[in-house]
Structure 1
Amino acid sequence: MYKKILKIVLILLVFIYIIFEELIWEKFAKPIITFITKQEIFKNLIPKILNLNSYFILIFFVSIFVIVEVIGAYAGLLFISGHIVTAVLIYILKIPVAAFIFWFFNIVRPKLLEFKWFKFVYDNLILAIYKIKNSSIYIMIKGKVAEYKKFLKENGFLSKGRLKHKIMGLYKIIKHKITKIKY
């Protein structure tokens, strides 16, 4: 019984991880990072950032990282408490900041890894991600997600026009229900 519950929890966590990886990272964060990388102002900042004191870099990175994670946790709490639209909006607002901090991290990683505790945390996080991505549960769910994506593409659901139509329909339903609520 314990193993069955653990397996269900793992499947749920891996599924959430894959959804975030596919949707948030691939569709939103990665294009923002690409945009940042191509901007001349950010290219000019790189040498200045690398000349900063390691402790300043650490404090700046950890501060922004913690803020981003607190915003994400707050969005999660809002989502669980039923404030879905607000939660989604807050989470969407967090994505550009998270993309920036990821860009910043890629630049300053060698300086941050000079701190032994940071290197320990980073190495263990990378190891955990490696284990997740090589687990049978991850591979199974990733395959299922790929099948569903293929099905949705083949049936036209993921085409822009049809998706826009479905989103507008959902919006109208939600708007209708909200206007019926008496305060």
Structure 2
Amino acid sequence: MPTPSPETLDFLLTRRSRPAKTLQVPAPDRDALMPLLRAAARTPDHGKLEPWRFIVLEAGAMPRLASAVEACGTALGKSAEDIAKARAQFDQGHLAVAVIEVQKPSEKIPAIEMTYSAGAVCLALLNAALAAGWGANWLSGWPSHDRGFCQEALGLADHERVAGFIHIATETNAPPDRPRPDLTTVTEWVSA
């Protein structure tokens, strides 16, 4: 018979991301962040490849990244609205962890499995931050998918890409819950 952990299940059933724009200082310092990174690193990694890594973006890096978004967006011909929206996560951010997907050569593990693992790391880090009492949000946006931005602003190699920016700081207010999927429409039971 399994040993239940009702507190953990309750957390998972009620967890809710906090809008990044509502997160304020303080943000976790390096000592407070390390257990969250350790928790995220326990994600299944499909063949022990560790197909991801972390780049911790502290407050001092945020203005540089916001400027890089603006320069990249201007060069790409993005609208002022698209640039402002993409800049906002760095203009308003206090600390974010860029989870970087790292594609590694493998004859046994398909590339898509490495992508899944990097996404799982994002969710694990988000949940670890929330469980530790911080406000947290998983963001991406067009800059995270732009090779130029990723290489110039984050120093990513050709075999790397951003899986997500996990913003972590102090929540200022708990948002209301949002509608959740109707499980009867997304669940199929197969018994034979």
TM-score bucket of the superposed structures, by smaller chain: under 0.3
As a proportion of its length, which structure holds more strand? 2
Highest RCO, 1 vs 2 (Cα 8 Å, sep ≥ 6)? 2
In the superposition, the TM-score normalised over structure 2's length comes to 0.22
Say which one has the larger Rg: 1
